[in-house]
Structure 1
Amino acid sequence: MAKDIVDTPAAEPAAKPDWALTRRERRAMERARGGRATRRRWPWVVLALLVVAAAAGVWLWRERQAAVPAEAPVAAAPEAPRAVQIDDDEWAVLEPETLRRTVRVIGTLQPYRRVDLSAETGGRVEEVAVRPGDAVTAGQVLVQVDVERLGLDVQLARSNADSTRAQLAVAEDQLQRQEALIERGVAAPTTAAELRASVAAQRASLAAQEDAIRSAELALEGATVRAPFDGVVSARSVEPGAVIGAGTPLLTVVDLTRMEMVGVAPVGAGATLSAGQAVELSVDGLGGQSFEGTVERIAPVAQEGTRALPVYVEVPNAGGPLLGGMFATGRIVVAEQPDALAVPQGAIREEGGPHVLVIEGDALVRRDVTPGEEWPGGRVQVEGLAPGDRVVTAALEGLEPGQPVELVEF
Structure 2
Amino acid sequence: MTLTSLQRSQLAAALAAVALAAGVGGYYLAGSRVPAAASTDAVRKPLYYYDPMVPTEHYDNADSLSSMGMKTIPKYADESGGPGAAPGVRIDPAAIQNLGIRLVTATTGTLAGSLDVTGAIDFNQRDVAIIQARAAGFVQRVYGRAPGDVIRAGAPIADVLVPEWGGAQAEYDAVRKTGDRALIAAAAQRLRLIGIPGGAARGRGMTTIRSPIGGVIQTLDARAGVTLAAGQTLAQVNGLGTVWLNAAVPEVRAADVRPGQTATAELAGFPGERFNGRVIAVLPTAQADSRTLTVRIELSNRDGRLRPGMFATVHLGDTSRTALLVPSEAVIRTGKRTLVMLADGKGRFRPAEVRIGREAGGQTEIVAGLAAGEKVVASGQFLLDSEASLTGIAARPIAGEGK
TM-score range, shorter chain: 0.3 to 0.5
TM-score, scaled relative to structure 2: 0.42
TM-score, scaled relative to structure 1: 0.41
Higher Cα radius of gyration: 1
